[in-house]
A = this chain, B = another copy of it.
Amino acid sequence: MILGIDIGGTTTKLGLISGGRVLERTRMATIGHNDAGSFVDALTREAKALADKSGAVVKAIGVGAPNGNQRTGRIEKAPNLPWGQDLPLAELLAKEFAVPCQLGNDANAAALGEWYHGAGRGCSDLLVVTLGTGLGSGLIVDGRLLLGPFGNAGELGHVILVPDGRACTCGRNGCLEAYVSIRGILQTHAEVTEDKLIANTDEGVKPIADAAYHGDKAALSTFDKTAAWLAIGLANAVAIAPPQRIVLCGGIAASGEVLFGPLRRHFAMDILSIHSGKVELVRSGLATDDAGLLGAAALVEHHREE
């Protein structure tokens, strides 16, 4: 039994996973703790209560977190998490539970989750792109998760797409994430409709997707522009490190055909002829509630294989 922990900007999910299924689950707030220490205390209490409730013996812990570094086991200066310093969470949890703990980047965890249990099964080379508040990505290269020498490979959200383009949260300009993310899409929609105000992000892009399904021209145009930007980003990633398949997950991917329709069209035009027809483009194969937990557990599964 693996304890999976999926740390998000507002909510942290915990689950007990065996054989690629979530058997028990709970959740807690990520925010509202005074400091990292009280977050870790609360997390430990929740995890122990979950294990006690099920009577299961936890053999290992997997944690997916923004800016999680698998080489150090630390969450490093995550801009969306409510503590400033680096947090050596893998070490703290391993000590507390006396079992091994693997901590990794949430986008890498998602990639492993899709690879082991979702829409990426059977590929030796896979790109998984998580579209939500930001744009995260994880790459499986020749049967292994690509970490890179600094533990932070696969930052597709921060390839520069439009030189001197929109300001990005990373401090630079024109990154793919500034165009293809909840905030990016809302900004595109505001530009298309010539609204001065960008809608709030609580509902994500669902209202725009709903409008697009009802034939709203501005909403359709917003998704077409989004698809055009994303297609270039994906085609460029394929040129450098070609996968057999690209899996899109996260809230924006759940928009379905209003995104995937134009995306497949643009992607077919943008991809190099030597890769034409070779790279599949599919949606996540995991339930939204399970994806992060299965991904966190997959960090443990992948580590065992290495």
Chain A positions near chain B (C-beta within 8 angstroms): 123-125, 139, 141-142, 144, 146, 148-150, 152-156, 158-160, 163, 170-172, 228, 232, 235-237, 239-244, 270, 272-275, 278
Return A281 CB to nearest CB of chain B, in Å: 15
A142 neighbours in B (Cβ, 8 Å): 144, 146
Among A142, A232, A273, which residue has the most Cβ atoms of chain B within 10 A? Answer: A142
**How far apart sit A173 and B134, CA to CA, in the bound complex (Å)?**
28
**How far apart sit A239 and B172, CA to CA, in the bound complex (Å)?**
13
B278 with A153: CB separation less than 8 A: no
A148 neighbours in B (Cβ, 8 Å): 125, 241-242
A172 neighbours in B (Cβ, 8 Å): 270, 272
Classify the interface of chain A: helix, strand, loop or mixed: loop
Assuming A232-B160, A236-B160, is B171 touching A241 (CB within 8 A)?
no
A235 neighbours in B (Cβ, 8 Å): 159-160
**How far apart sit A242 and B159, CA to CA, in the bound complex (Å)?**
12
A-B contact pairs, 16 of them (CB 8 A): A139-B240, A141-B141, A141-B146, A152-B275, A153-B242, A155-B240, A158-B272, A159-B235, A159-B236, A160-B236, A160-B270, A163-B232, A172-B272, A237-B240, A240-B240, A240-B241
Return A26 CB to nearest CB of chain B, in Å: 32
B241 with A150: CB separation less than 8 A: no
A150 neighbours in B (Cβ, 8 Å): 242, 274-275, 278
Assuming A160-B270, A171-B273, A272-B172, is B240 touching A154 (CB within 8 A)?
yes
